[in-house]
């Protein structure tokens, strides 16, 4: 006969469930995905074989000074072309058995298990996408989406993006500057590198400036530390409490929001905007959940969730990266 081992308390008292559901101990902020979605950087397209960005890349060189009836140059100058990006797919499955459903029903359920599993699946996809958005697209045999390591490269004079060779065509190179402190103190060159990159990414002083700056948590704190000399302490309310720091969602640089993303590579800071960096997806292709499928040989259901899309750029000169931050 088996020996009882659960104990009197376990046998006589129900567990007290605190909270409405499982508390997230896994997912990060996914800040880059948020930055793309909040502006005009999230773009639904009507399908197509691939993603095409039309670009204007040259001046019409026939224009010059002339006198009276002098003949004008009638050479036809090519000034337009296109960059092309392939569709990529990211997907996964959520599986739950009939037994799971039956056990977690009615008053026996601590929370809606199936809904929580589906929500976890969607969040898992967003986490995969956000991490992929920082890569160069060579992962998983080239099936990954091309991310910032490709589109806003630390080596912008090499490689091919959208079918255009950056080594040959200088107009297709993003901005890049070093944030290395050199002989100075930690982060002493960061704001200078940010200022240079910001100005390079702007169209003059009054048009098309960067909208956001994203980096990792360490370098975000480094940037914040450079603001101490400009800090002013103010009372928050009648309680007399004084705030000794800045809220993270209030930090900016020349009007561009500055934030951190746990997935951003170390010693790297990206400066961009939603005009020139896009995430594209065919209509109906963003986080699509398919109807549950009942396998013929299992008492279970399988839900597929998939996204079809890819990042693209249409003007890399308006995008920049600060590297080697120290």
Residue 205's pLDDT is what?
87
d(C-alpha 92, C-alpha 71), whole Å: 65
Please report where in the chains the tokens 């040959």 appear, as a residue.
168
Give the DSSP letter of residue 279: E
| Tokens read off for 314 | 């249409």
Strand partners, 215: 260, 269
Listed residue (234, 292, 278, 226) closest to 54, CA to CA: 278
Please report where in the chains the tokens 């204007």 appear, as a residue.
56
When mean pLDDT is compared over 33-47, 105-119, 305-319, the highest value belongs to 305-319
Residues in the chain: 326
Residue 2's pLDDT is what?
61
Residue 235 pLDDT exceeds 70: no
d(C-alpha 307, C-alpha 75), whole Å: 46
| Tokens read off for 229 | 């000399």
Residue 7 pLDDT exceeds 90: no
Write out pLDDT tens, residues 47-99. 999 999 999 999 999 999 999 999 999 999 999 999 999 999 999 999 999 99
Write out pLDDT tens, residues 102-144. 988 887 777 788 888 989 999 999 999 999 999 999 999 999 9
- In this prediction, residue 206 has a pLDDT band, given cuts at 50, 70 and 90, of confident
Q: How far is CA 96 from the centre of its chain?
A: 30
Residues 6+ positions from 289 with CB-CB distance below 8 Å: 118, 122, 303, 304, 305
| Tokens read off for 26 | 């896994």
Characterise 86 by phi-psi region: left (phi > 0), alpha (psi -120 to 50), beta (else).
beta
């Amino acid at each position: 006969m088996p020996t009882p081992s659960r104990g009197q308390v376990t046998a006589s008292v129900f567990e007290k469930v605190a909270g409405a559901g499982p508390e997230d101990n896994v997912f990060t902020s996914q800040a880059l995905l948020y930055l793309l979605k909040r502006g005009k950087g999230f773009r639904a397209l009507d399908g197509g074989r691939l993603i095409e960005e039309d670009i204007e890349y040259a001046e019409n060189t026939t224009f010059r000074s002339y006198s009276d009836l002098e003949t004008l140059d009638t050479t036809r100058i090519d000034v337009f072309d296109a960059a092309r990006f392939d569709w990529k797919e990211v997907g996964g499955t959520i599986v739950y058995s009939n037994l799971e459903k039956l056990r977690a029903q009615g008053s026996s359920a601590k929370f809606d298990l199936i809904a929580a599993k589906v929500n976890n699946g969607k969040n898992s996809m967003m986490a995969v996408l956000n991490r992929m958005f920082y890569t160069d697209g060579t992962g998983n045999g080239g099936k990954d989406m091309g991310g910032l390591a490709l589109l806003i490269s630390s080596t912008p004079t090499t490689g091919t993006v959208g079918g255009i060779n950056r080594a040959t065509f200088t107009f297709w190179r993003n901005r890049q500057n070093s944030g290395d402190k050199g002989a100075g103190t930690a982060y002493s060159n960061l704001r200078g590198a940010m200022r240079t990159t910001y100005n390079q990414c702007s169209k003059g002083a009054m048009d098309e400036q960067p909208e956001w700056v994203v980096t990792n948590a360490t370098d975000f704190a480094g940037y914040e530390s450079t603001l101490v000399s400009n800090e002013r302490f103010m009372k928050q309310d009648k309680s007399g409490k004084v705030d000794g720091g800045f809220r993270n969602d209030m930090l900016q640089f020349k009007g561009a929001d500055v934030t951190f993303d746990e997935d951003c590579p170390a010693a790297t800071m990206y400066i961009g905007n939603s005009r020139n960096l896009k995430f594209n997806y065919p209509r109906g292709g963003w986080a699509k959940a398919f109807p549950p499928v009942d396998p013929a040989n299992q008492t279970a259901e399988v839900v597929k969730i998939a996204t079809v899309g890819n990042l693209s750029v249409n003007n890399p000169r308006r995008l920049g990266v600060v590297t080697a931050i120290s």
